[in-house]
């Protein structure tokens, strides 16, 4: 059974600082997704990573995937308050493609002025 672990689960940081959220998964997969959820809201897709070494960037967020290490990172550069949200990674465990994503528990990020 695929397990997806994120750390940290809670992250409080100051504006302007950099930090990285980690997503480890337990079985082979080359499809990983990052989502953002604001309190009381829906989930919004941030990044789709579909191969080993994939790197995607949008604004102050950059995501990467290392399928050999079974690890994805979400790097935050010069954080701003608007980035405060919960970030989820999700992994497709099927080599054949089942669309059955398994989500991590989420990392709740709070950016303080």
Partner 1 sequence: DAGVIQSPRHEVTEMGQEVTLRCKPISGHNSLFWYRQTMMRGLELLIYFNNNVPIDDSGMPEDRFSAKMPNASFSTLKIQPSEPRDSAVYFCASSPLYNSPLHFGNGTRLTVT
User: Where do contacts with partner 1 occur on this chain (CB under 8 A)?
Assistant: 31, 33, 35, 41-45, 48, 50, 88, 97-106
How far, in Å, CA of 8 to CA of 67, rounded? 20
Complex with partner 1: residue 4 or 79, whichever CB lies closer: 4
Q: Minimum Å distance from CB 48 to partner 1? A: 5
CB of 64 to partner 1, least distance (A): 17
- Contacts by 95-101, CB closer than 8 A, 24 or more apart: 95/28, 95/29, 97/31, 101/33
Residue among 83 and 90 whose Cβ is closer to partner 1: 90
In DSSP terms, 88 is beta-bridged to 35
25/35 with CB nearer partner 1: 35
Residues paired with 102 in a beta bridge: 91
User: Minimum distance from CB of 33 to partner 1 (Å)?
Assistant: 6
Task: State the virtual CA torsion across 35, 30, 105, 62 in degrees, nearest 10.
Answer: -40
- As measured in angstroms, the least distance from the Cβ of 78 to partner 1 is 26
| Cα(24)–Cα(41) distance, integer angstroms | 25
Query: Which residue number, 79 or 92, has a Cβ lying nearer to partner 1?
Result: 92
């Amino acid at each position: 059974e695929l397990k997806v672990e994120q750390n940290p689960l809670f992250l409080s940081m100051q504006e302007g600082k950099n930090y990285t959220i980690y997503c480890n998964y337990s079985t082979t997969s080359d499809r990983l997704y990052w989502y953002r959820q604001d309190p009381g809201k829906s989930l919004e897709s941030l990044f789709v990573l579909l191969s080993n070494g994939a790197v995607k960037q949008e604004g102050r967020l950059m995501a990467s995937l290392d399928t050999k290490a079974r690890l994805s990172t979400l790097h935050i550069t010069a954080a701003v308050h608007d980035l405060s949200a919960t970030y989820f990674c999700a992994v497709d465990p099927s080599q054949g493609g089942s669309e059955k994503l398994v989500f991590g528990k989420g990392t709740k990020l709070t950016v303080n002025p």
